[in-house]
Amino acid sequence: MSLILARKEKRSSMDIGMFFAALLTLGIFSFLYKDNPVYKVCEAIFVGVSAGFWAITYFFDNIHKKFWLGVFPQEGDSPDYWLWGGAILGFLMLLRISNKIGWIARWPLSFIVGATAGLYMMLYFVSNALNQVADTMMPIVAYASDNSVLWLDTFGNFIVVLGVVTGLIYFFFSKEHKGLFGTGAQVGTWFLMITFGASFGYTVMSRMSLLIGRLDFLFGDWLGLF
Amino acid sequence: MLLLTFSDIGLIVTLVIIAAGLGLILKLALKGKEIDRRIIFIFIFFSVASPIIFQIKFSEKATAVVKSIYDKIDNLPEGSKILISFDFDPAMAPEVQPMAIVLGRHALIKGHEVVFMSLWTTGQSLLTEIINEYILPDFPEKQEFIDYVTLGFKAGNEGVLKVIATDFKKMFPVDNNGRPLDSIPIFDGVKSCSDFDLVISIGGGKPGPKEWILFVTDPSNIPMAVGVAAVIAPQMYPYYPAQVLGIMGGVKGAAEYESEFIGNYERFKDMKTPGLLTMGPQTLAHTVIMAFIIIGNIIYFRKRKKEAKS
């Protein structure tokens, strides 16, 4: 009930905004028929508003809140001088607009690339490689606490192990994919295809959700059909 | 006497129209006529719009991967600390907002202490809207700072996670309203993310659930659950069940959780379930897409057969 009330209150207080939002949505949908000037206008508004929004957001969140209030804090707090390092690197990044000294912008870029690589290297290695390899090393036959075989779990474990092994065989190119090895690679291909299919299905669901969100807005919030 | 509801009639009408239309398209295609892509768009539009208007719902049952999140929240002792991060933007909201709403309700009704935050600047406004308009009206007895607290958005992406993994108050000295964390009862005894009993990240971009796993929960062995946009869900499965205890993938995951929640809490049995409602159009749209794939394949194989003959 609270949801319905919230929707009605919002509707009455934001009618003009909602009207424009609906028009922009319909304008973007018009591309499905064919490219047209209305779509171009809506697209340009979206790009402009997004750029403006992000510019203001980054300015206040990073430059004002993080840097300015960090180095010139309110009474009682001590300034964080390390922030100057980030500010100088940020300024150097802007030098790329100059033809003469644009090369200096490579320094902060190198710092970002190096720091990010260093930060991610170990984390990826541990979480995405070591831990997941360890999880794959599972007993194929799963037992319950009373030592009876859990057939469904056993089947699941078998599929995981088979998928990993045959998938790795498929990507092993130092040996020709022939005979038993070739069969393994073929099975690996099926696993990959099923994975891509599942991934595509999820992508369809994701994109449909966006369409559902917009239609729900048009029919519910704007037209008030339900 | 057969009693049909408004949504039943809607479902029957929708299915009849879709089936008749698809049959007609198959017939035209078999005659070798070109199908304009806009006809496909019309079908998708109809299969999505009709269930929305008629409020067509299908029943859902929580699968193990979703049920494990539900069970974790349900079985934690009252007063446990849960951190929920809203790492999404308005574009992702139709998919993940239902998860945020139902998770917030579940955590509060179980008497847990909930900390809300966001790594996305656009998540800040959504966080405020979801808490104030969808969650709190059902919990007038809950008090800010005692039962829940909103930390809001913090710029810094992975940097924020790297810091809060070891020192929460260093990155968040104050809450969303500028109140020092030291004076907020929920944060008594909280030094880092390790002091939370459960961390949940809802999102699908970067930074999001994956970064939470890499930077915070996996290195510190903190129980972690994720609610993700469907497009990201396949990337999350390798982490299940050792590194994340459960995954809600897209609206399907949200609908399963809602179904489990309303089934077990009488007080919320009539609550609005955006996840379950979204599964109506999802189901019909997927059916239409599958039908088009089948029609396309029939045409392709017939064409190939004809070419082979000639």
Q: What is the DSSP annotation of B56-89?
A: --------HHHHHHHHHHHHSPTT-EEEEEEE--
Assess B295–A contact: CB distance below 8 Å, yes or no. no
Q: Contact, B198 vs B227, CB < 8 A?
A: no
Residues B198 and B238 in one domain: yes
Its domain, for residue B21, covers 6-57+275-309
Residues B174 and B233 in one domain: yes
Residues B129 and B254 in one domain: yes
Residues B19 and B163 in one domain: no
Closest-CA residue to A184 (of B237, A175, A199, A132): A175
Letter string b/e over residues A122-145, b meaning 16 or more CB atoms within 10 A of that residue's CB: ebeeebbeebeeeeeeeeeebeee
Residues B213 and B68 in one domain: yes
Chain A residues in contact with B219 by the CB 8 A cut-off are: 123, 126-127
Q: What is the pLDDT of residue B1?
A: 52
Token couple for B133: 């308009």
Q: What is the pLDDT of residue B275?
A: 92
Q: Where are the beta strands (DSSP E) in chain B?
A: 81-87, 113-118, 148-153, 198-203, 224-228, 246-249
Interface test with A, best of B50, B52, B273 (most A CBs within 10 A): B52
How far apart, in Å, are the Cα atoms of A19 and each of A24, A80, B150?
Answer: 9, 47, 31
Residues B149 and B251 in one domain: yes
Reported as a single tens digit per residue, the pLDDT across B97-106 is 999 999 999 9
Token couple for B6: 């408004």
User: How far is Cα A74 from Cα A56, in angstroms, rounded to an integer?
Assistant: 22
Binary contact (B243, A127; C-beta < 8 A): yes
Closest-CA residue to B227 (of B253, B258, B261, B256): B253
Domains of chain A, residue spans: 138-226
Choosing from B253, B268, B283, the residue where a domain stops is B268
User: How far is Cα B201 from Cα B166, in angstroms, rounded to an integer?
Assistant: 18
Measured in whole angstroms, the distance separating CA B34 from the mean position of its chain's CA atoms is 38
Token couple for A149: 């075989």
B217 within some domain: yes
Residue-level pLDDT, tens digit, chain A, 226 residues: 333 334 545 555 458 889 999 999 999 999 999 999 999 999 999 999 999 999 998 898 889 988 998 899 887 778 889 999 999 999 999 999 999 999 999 999 999 999 999 989 989 999 999 999 888 888 889 999 888 999 999 999 999 999 999 999 999 988 898 999 999 999 999 999 999 999 999 999 999 999 999 999 999 889 988 7
Closest-CA residue to A4 (of B134, B292, B264, B110): B134
B292 within some domain: yes
CA–CA–CA angle B247, B251, B256 (5° rounding): 65
B1 within some domain: no
Binary contact (B156, A213; C-beta < 8 A): no
How far apart, in Å, are the Cα atoms of A213 and each of A217, B34, B53?
Answer: 6, 31, 13
User: How far is Cα B116 from Cα B82, in angstroms, rounded to an integer?
Assistant: 9
User: How far is Cα B38 from Cα B17, in angstroms, rounded to an integer?
Assistant: 17
Q: What is the pLDDT of residue A13?
A: 46
Residues B10 and B128 in one domain: no
Shortest distance, CA B94 to any CA of chain A (angstroms): 5
Reported as a single tens digit per residue, the pLDDT across B112-121 is 999 999 999 8
Binary contact (A212, B55; C-beta < 8 A): no
Residue-level pLDDT, tens digit, chain B, 310 residues: 556 788 888 888 888 988 998 898 888 888 878 888 898 899 999 999 999 998 888 889 999 999 999 999 999 999 999 999 999 998 899 899 999 999 999 999 999 999 999 999 888 889 999 999 999 999 999 999 999 999 999 888 898 999 999 999 989 988 988 899 999 999 999 999 999 999 999 998 999 999 999 999 999 999 999 999 999 999 999 999 899 999 999 999 999 999 999 999 999 988 889 999 999 999 999 999 999 999 889 888 888 988 898 8
User: How far is Cα A3 from Cα B275, in angstroms, rounded to an integer?
Assistant: 14
Residues B118 and B244 in one domain: yes
User: How far is Cα B62 from Cα B70, in angstroms, rounded to an integer?
Assistant: 9
- Listed by number, the residues of chain B in 164-203 with a beta carbon closer than 8 Å to a beta carbon of chain A are none
Q: What is the pLDDT of residue A4?
A: 38
Residues B104 and B235 in one domain: yes
Residues B247 and B285 in one domain: no
Q: Contact, B69 vs B257, CB < 8 A?
A: yes
Q: Contact, B123 vs B86, CB < 8 A?
A: yes
Binary contact (A203, B231; C-beta < 8 A): yes
Q: Contact, B44 vs B288, CB < 8 A?
A: yes
Q: Contact, B257 vs B226, CB < 8 A?
A: no
Do the strands B113-118 and B198-203 form a parallel or antiparallel pair, or are they unpaired? Answer: unpaired
| Closest chain B residue to A66, measured at CA | B155
Q: What is the pLDDT of residue B2?
A: 59
Token couple for B94: 């139709």
Q: What is the pLDDT of residue A5?
A: 38
Domain count, chain B: 2
Q: What is the pLDDT of residue B80?
A: 96
Beta carbons within 10 angstroms of residue B69's beta carbon: 29
Cβ-nearest to A215 among B49, B252, B272? B49
Beta carbons within 10 angstroms of residue B205's beta carbon: 20
How far apart, in Å, are the Cα atoms of B109 and each of B114, B250, B256?
Answer: 11, 24, 18
Residues B178 and B90 in one domain: yes
Residues B92 and B23 in one domain: no
Burial class (CB in 10 A: 0-12, 13-18, 19+), B101: buried
User: How far is Cα B39 from Cα B48, in angstroms, rounded to an integer?
Assistant: 14
Overall size of chain B counted in residues:
310
Closest-CA residue to B102 (of B241, B271, B233): B271
